[in-house]
Amino acid sequence: MKINHHPDDATILAYAAGAVTEGFSLVLAAHMELCPHCRNRMAEANAVGGELLSELRPVAMSAGGLDNIWSRIEQEPEVAVTQPAVPAAVDGVPGVLTPYLPEGLGSLPWRSLIPGIRQYVLGGVESGRGSVRMLSIAPGTTIPHHTHMGGELTLVIKGAYEDETGRYGSGDLADLDDTVGHQPVVGRDEPCICLIATDDRLRFSGIFSRMLQPLVGI
């Protein structure tokens, strides 16, 4: 898998700082599972966080702080803390997504959104005023031109699409903010299945698209 499109440095920084929605973190984690380059960038951003933590002006702990810690350690039974392992990828779907798509892509209860576009909303993922959803888009479909009130991250799982900024295939991540408008067109050969997180509502431009907005509800 040759990945050509990656999240912006500013997005990686926000992720490392913990300043993104859970939905954004899910899409970024899914991309990083596939992308060693971005795992590297994330490790650097975390290291910057560690350095900046060391630089912070210390605020004295309360007098009994350390005693409290020892009594908490002694009172609460020492349970072995295991780090939850990321499940294995299934059917080309990154492992971090499998808890949300337990049956794989094949048997997802897709709902038709508009002709050519089906969606599945991932439940229970904190996303601010936005959402996380899978879209399955039929070959050759053009998505109405739209901009975003906040940010939008799109990870291509299968198939490909193209817009003004290039071609996006499996593993590629499109990182768009409210300054970018785009009109994606899906390749003619196969449907494009992608994972999209927004942290605010999309804003469609054009009269027909604006009429679609209430129907689409993205």
52 binds other proteins (CB under 8 A): yes
- Give least dist CB 3 to Zn ion, A: 5
Options 36-44, 51-59, 72-80, 130-138: segment touching Zn ion (CB under 5 A): 36-44
- For other proteins, the binding residue among 36, 87, 166, 206 (CB under 8 A) is 36
- Looking at the Cβ atoms of 6 and 146, the one nearer to Zn ion is 6
Return the residues of window 154-213 that contact other proteins according to CB under 8 A.
Answer: 171, 177-179
Q: What is the CA radius of gyration of the chain?
A: 20
Q: Any idea which residue has 């936005």 for tokens?
A: 130
Report the C-alpha gap between 190 and 62 in whole angstroms: 62
The answer to whether 33 and 86 are in contact (CB under 8 A) is: yes
Options 33-41, 102-110, 182-190, 206-214: segment touching other proteins (CB under 8 A): 33-41
Between 4 and 33, how does the x/- string for binding to Zn ion read (CB under 5 A)? --x---------------------------
> DSSP assignment of 82-93, as one string?
-PPPPPPPBTTB
The answer to whether 26 and 96 are in contact (CB under 8 A) is: yes
* Side chain identity, residue 174: A
Report the C-alpha gap between 157 and 192 in whole angstroms: 8
- Give least dist CB 195 to Zn ion, A: 14
The one of other proteins, Zn ion, none whose footprint includes residue 41, by CB under 5 to 8 A per kind, is other proteins
The one of other proteins, Zn ion, none whose footprint includes residue 59, by CB under 5 to 8 A per kind, is other proteins
Between 38 and 77, how does the x/- string for binding to Zn ion read (CB under 5 A)? x---------------------------------------
**How is residue 116 written in tokens?**
């050519």
* Side chain identity, residue 27: V
Report the C-alpha gap between 154 and 103 in whole angstroms: 22
Say which residues have a Cβ less than 8 Å from residue 28's Cβ, sequence separation at least 6: 7, 11, 12, 15, 20, 38, 153, 173
141 binds other proteins (CB under 8 A): no
- Give least dist CB 184 to other proteins, A: 22
- Looking at the Cβ atoms of 44 and 200, the one nearer to Zn ion is 44
Q: Any idea which residue has 């997802």 for tokens?
A: 108
Q: Which residues bind Zn ion (CB under 5 A)?
A: 6, 35, 37-38
